[in-house]
């Protein structure tokens, strides 16, 4: 859709084709006026486009069907954005789901997501969580380490069941340097390394266990990966390992899970990632590798989190103070910040920020967008250009669908925002705003 705006605003909103501008200069998402949403639901407010989530899911399901061996399926990594309302959407799009804690299992199941489609991750599943997962018939456990393996076998044995597992192995790869066997990445708290021989050993031990059935291997090489080459390096290592497990243990994987990690652009200068093209590239590399080693085709899994939900979300804030420190810079403070979006504080992540009330005005006010916490690191973006806000203007931060709500906190006793889902532009409240009573209800005097 063409945007009736000029200059920098145009460049920024070109990140997304579902953002437009009303004649009054208000930002619209999927045709819904953000100032109406703010009026109805208050700020700060997370807004999610269900249509966009579904489009993102379909990029995966269509490419999987087209390029990967039969039975391959993507799983949504719930840690990116976990609340009940996401699961019916994910399920109806045909995705499986990753969970990393009993809390995520509980959330998914309470929303009607089928237990058999859950993959239970986590570098330290407690005995209680193992029992919780088994009792609720979680389809597959992704075993991280030896001690977890023994605990899982013990609990499965006591229930007289055979539990499907994947073994999480560490391929020793840094996706951002393309450094294979980078010791920094073998040195990880996640999974069991191939390079040291530990992965072979954990496979041999698992094959001896009467109550566990190994379907294959899992590995996750990182996040914000902009192309498929690191996945090809990962596949090389996994297939080489699979050839060795065939030789040593007569075991070839039925499932190879490549983890998550495709990037999304947060600012206009970030490269765009074509999921379909990248999956085609991975599949071609996989096919060549399978032929080279003479291995049977495994079902392929990937676990996208960010690339399913990040660009489907934006956060609306109300501008408070606008102050200029002469000779230094200007600050715009909003009624949220690191409590609803800790990613700048954690990683210095970049965001695209818009003055959603003045989309038709020039972006010529250089400022830093700060939150309201007593913490100088509480910022959302630095040195950005906006149409100069006045107190009460609506500020939109784009691409906040992933790792915002799921990482939110109550620091400074700030209640967590509400979350609204837009379906074909129609809003429905999916998570209520936290209240002060919510803040104190578990506390005893």
Ligand X SMILES: *Cc1c(COP(=O)(O)O)cnc(C)c1O
Binding-site ranges for ligand X (CB under 6 A): 77, 79-80, 98, 121, 220, 223, 259-261, 303-307, 402
Q: What's the burial of 38, exposed, middle or buried (CB within 10 Å: 0-12/13-18/19+)?
A: buried
- Between the alpha carbon of residue 159 and those of residues 144, 200, 278, the distances in Å are 21, 27, 42
Which one of the listed residues 232, 367, 373, 374 is annotated catalytic? 374
Q: Which is nearer to ligand X, 132 or 403 (CB)?
A: 403
Q: What's the burial of 39, exposed, middle or buried (CB within 10 Å: 0-12/13-18/19+)?
A: exposed
- To the nearest whole angstrom, how small is the minimum distance from the Cβ of residue 260 to ligand X? 3
Q: Which is nearer to ligand X, 170 or 352 (CB)?
A: 170
Q: Which is nearer to ligand X, 91 or 144 (CB)?
A: 144
- Between the alpha carbon of residue 304 and those of residues 67, 70, 76, 197, 384, the distances in Å are 17, 19, 5, 28, 29
Residue 314 is encoded by which pair of tokens?
Answer: 């934006």
- To the nearest whole angstrom, how small is the minimum distance from the Cβ of residue 317 to ligand X? 24
Q: Residue 374 catalytic?
A: yes
Q: Which is nearer to ligand X, 395 or 402 (CB)?
A: 402
What are the DSSP E strand ranges found in 265-398?
299-302, 313-324, 330-334, 353-355, 365-370, 379-386, 394-398
The answer to whether 101 and 127 are in contact (CB under 8 A) is no
- To the nearest whole angstrom, how small is the minimum distance from the Cβ of residue 174 to ligand X? 15
Q: Give the helix/strand (H/E) hosting 211.
A: none
CA distance 373 to 369: 12
- To the nearest whole angstrom, how small is the minimum distance from the Cβ of residue 395 to ligand X? 25
Q: Which is nearer to ligand X, 79 or 299 (CB)?
A: 79
CA distance 394 to 420: 16
CA distance 372 to 137: 43
Q: Which is nearer to ligand X, 229 or 433 (CB)?
A: 229
- To the nearest whole angstrom, how small is the minimum distance from the Cβ of residue 166 to ligand X? 11
- To the nearest whole angstrom, how small is the minimum distance from the Cβ of residue 23 to ligand X? 37
Residues with catalytic annotation? Answer: 374
């Amino acid at each position: 859709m063409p945007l009736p705006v000029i200059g920098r605003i145009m460049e920024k909103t070109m990140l997304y084709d579902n953002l437009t501008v009303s004649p009054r200069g208000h930002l619209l998402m999927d045709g819904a006026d953000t100032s109406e949403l703010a009026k109805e639901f208050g700020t700060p407010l997370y807004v999610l486009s269900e249509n966009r989530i579904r489009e993102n899911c379909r990029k995966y399901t269509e490419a999987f069907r087209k390029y990967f061996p039969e039975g391959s399926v993507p799983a949504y990594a719930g840690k990116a954005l976990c609340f009940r309302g996401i699961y019916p959407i994910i399920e109806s799009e045909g995705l499986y789901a990753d969970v990393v804690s009993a809390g995520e299992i509980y959330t998914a199941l309470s929303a009607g997501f089928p237990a058999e489609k859950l993959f239970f991750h986590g570098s330290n599943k407690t005995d209680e969580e193992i029992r919780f997962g088994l009792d609720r018939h979680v389809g597959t456990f992704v075993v991280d380490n030896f001690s977890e393996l023994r605990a899982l076998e013990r609990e499965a044995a006591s229930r007289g069941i055979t539990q499907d597992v994947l073994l999480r192995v560490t391929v020793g790869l840094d996706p951002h340097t393309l450094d294979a066997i980078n010791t920094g990445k073998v040195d990880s708290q996640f999974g069991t390394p191939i390079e040291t021989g530990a992965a072979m050993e954990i496979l041999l031990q698992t094959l001896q266990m009467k109550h566990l059935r190994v379907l294959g291997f899992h590995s996750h090489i990182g996040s914000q990966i902009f192309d498929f080459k690191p996945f090809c390096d990962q596949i090389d290592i996994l297939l080489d390992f699979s050839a060795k497990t065939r030789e040593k243990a007569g075991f070839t994987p039925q499932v190879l899970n490549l983890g998550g990690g495709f990037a999304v652009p947060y600012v206009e200068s970030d490269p765009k990632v074509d999921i379909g093209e990248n999956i085609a590239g991975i599949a071609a590399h996989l096919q060549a590798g399978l032929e080279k080693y003479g291995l049977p085709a495994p079902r392929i899994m990937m676990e996208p989190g960010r690339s399913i939900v990040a660009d489907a979300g934006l956060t609306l804030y109300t501008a408070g103070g606008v102050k200029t420190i002469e000779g230094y810079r200007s600050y715009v403070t909003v009624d949220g910040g690191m409590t609803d979006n800790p990613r700048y504080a954690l990683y210095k992540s970049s965001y695209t920020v818009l003055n959603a009330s003045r989309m038709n005005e020039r972006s010529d006010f250089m400022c830093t967008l700060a939150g309201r916490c007593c913490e100088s690191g509480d910022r959302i973006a630095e040195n950005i250009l906006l149409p100069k806000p006045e107190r009460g203007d609506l500020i939109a931060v784009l691409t906040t669908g992933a790792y915002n709500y799921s990482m939110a906190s109550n620091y400074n006793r700030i209640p967590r925002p509400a979350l609204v889902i837009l379906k074909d532009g129609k809003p429905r409240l999916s998570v209520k705003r936290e209240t002060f009573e919510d803040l104190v209800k578990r506390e005893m005097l």
